[in-house]
Amino acid sequence: MRAHPAGPQHAAGLGGPGWLTEPDDANDLLPQLWPSSARRGADGVVTVGGVPVTELAAQHGTPAYVVDEADFRARATAFRDAFAEAFADACGGADVYYAAKAFTCTAVARWLAEDGLRYDACTGGELAVALRGGTDPAHVLLHGNNKSDEEINRAVRAGVGKVVVDGFHDIDRTADAAREAGVRQGVLIRTTVGVEAHTHDYIATAHEDQKFGLSLASGQAAEAVRRVLARPELELRGLHSHIGSQIFDVSGFEVAARRLLGLHAQVLAEHGLEMPEIDLGGGFGIAYTTQDAPLSPTALARGMAEVVTAACAQLGVAVPKVSVEPGRAIAGPSGVTLYRVGSTKDVALDGGLHRRYVAVDGGMSDNIRTALYDADYSASLGGRRSAAAPVLSRVVGKHCESGDVVVKDEFLPDDVAAGDLLVVPATGAYCHSMASQYNHVPRPPVVAVRDGESRVLVRRETEDDLLALDIG
C-alpha cells in the first residue's frame, strides 16, 4: 500500500486527486470486510465457506446473495455470550434480540432459535418467518410505528413476549387485543431520547423530528407510562430506545441510557413500579470499507455495561435486565454478493484522470443502499488472479437509473472484462431484505455455504413469479 488512506479497499468517500494512490495488490482480501472463511486461492478464485465463487456462480447463477452460515452463527453467539458475560453481575445477564429487518428467512430464524438468540420483528411478515422457523413466541419482540390491528392481534394471539408501544395509538389497541385473547400482554415503551447519532439522516432514529417513539423531553413518554398502567390488560416491562444505525462507539448509548434510566427512576418514584427491563436497541456498525472501525461484541458489551451500571448507581436504582438488538452486525459481514460483469466503459475526469464504469448483471434492485443512503461498498475480482495495474472503477448495475451504483469507487484490475465475476462483501444486511423487482428484474437467490457445500435458502425469482400476481 503506497499512501492511500482508505487502504487497497477502498477509495470510497474520499474525493479529489490526492486520494487516487493505487493499492499494492488489488487481489488482497481485507479480513475486516469479509466472512471469516473467505480466501483467495493460488489461482485467484475466492472461496467462501469452502466453496469457490466460480462454482457458486455456475450452480446458482448471478447475481446471488451468499451467506456463510458458520460465520453468521459465530457472530450471533459472540453477541449472545459477550452481553451475557458483561451484564452477569449487574443484572444476571442480557437478552440479545436479532433485528430481523437486516435479513431473515426461515433458516435464519431456525439458526437463531437453536443458538439461543431472541427475535426482533417489525411486521407481521417477519413474525410469520420467526414462527415458521421455530422461534419461541415468548422470545419475540414486535416493533413498528404503524402496526395494523391484524398484526397486533396476530402477535398477541401467538404469545409474543413483548410489544413495543411506539405511540399512544398502540396502547389501547394492544390492550384490546390482549383482552380479547384473554392474556396480559407485556409491553415496552419506545422512548425518543433526543440523541443525535452521527449517521445518515434516514437511519438516525432518536432525535425529535422523526416518526419513531414517544418524546422524553415533551413528556409524551411519561404520559404513555400512565396510560399503559391504566390498562390492566398490559404489563409494563420497561422502556426502549434506539438511537440509529451504523454506530461505532458507545458514547451515544451512554447519553441514551442515562436519559432512559432517568425516566425509569421517575416511574419508580411516581408510580412505585420498578420496571424489570430496559432495551437499548442496536445499530452497531460494521466495516464496509477500510475507513470503518467497528467495535467487537465484547468491547460493545463491556462499554454498555459500564454505562448502565454507572447511571443506575448515580440514580440509586437497581440495574434492570438489559436487552440489545444487533442485526447488521451479525448478518452484514457474513454475506457477499456475486455479480457477472457485462461491459466496461472509460469516462474522463478532471485533471487528465479517468474512471472505469464496470457494469454488472444486478444493481439497485438487489442493493438499494448506495442509492438510498449514499452507502460505501468494496468489490474484488472473484474468479481469477490479475497482475494488471489497479484502475479507479465504479461498479454499476443494469437498471434504467444514473444512480444505479453498487460500489462508488474501487480500484479494480485494468483487465476486468465481460464475463468476469465480481464479489461485493458486507452485503448480508439490508440487501436481500430491501430488494425490489425494479425494471421487472427477478430478485436473486440466497445461498448458504458451509464446510465446502452450498444450499439454497431462498430460491431465485423467475419471470413466472413476476407475472403470477399480474392478473391482467
Name the burial class of residue 219, with classes exposed (0-12), middle (13-18) and buried (19+) by CB atoms within 10 angstroms of its CB: exposed
Catalytic residue (choose from 105, 122, 312, 400)? 400
440: three-class secondary structure by DSSP: helix
Helix H, strand E, coil C: the string for 398-456 is: CCCCCCCEEEEEEEEECCCCCCCEEEEECCCCCCCCCCCCHHHCCCCCEEEEECCEEEE
Strand pairing class (405-413; 214-215): unpaired
For the question of residue 122 being annotated catalytic, the response is: no
Task: Please name the residues in contact with 139: beta carbons below 8 A apart, sequence gap of 6 or more.
Answer: 113, 118, 119, 161
Euclidean distance between CA atoms 129 and 157, whole angstroms:
16
Q: Where are the beta strands (DSSP E) in 291-404?
A: 321-324, 335-348, 354-360, 380-381, 390-396
195: helix, strand or coil:
coil
For the four alpha carbons of 32, 33, 36 and 37, in that order, the dihedral sign comes to negative
- Crossing angle of helices 69-86 and 106-114, rounded to 10°: 40
DSSP code, position 123: S
DSSP code of 50?
T
Pairing of strands 277-279, 185-192: unpaired
Q: Report the DSSP beta bridge partners of residue 383.
A: 45
d(CA 115, CA 133): 13
Q: Is 63 exposed, middle or buried (0-12, 13-18, 19+ CB in 10 A)?
A: buried
* Cα-Cα end-to-end distance for the chain: 57
Residue with cell 448480508: 428
- CA-nearest of 190, 258, 266 to 221 is 190
Tell me which residues are annotated as active site: 400
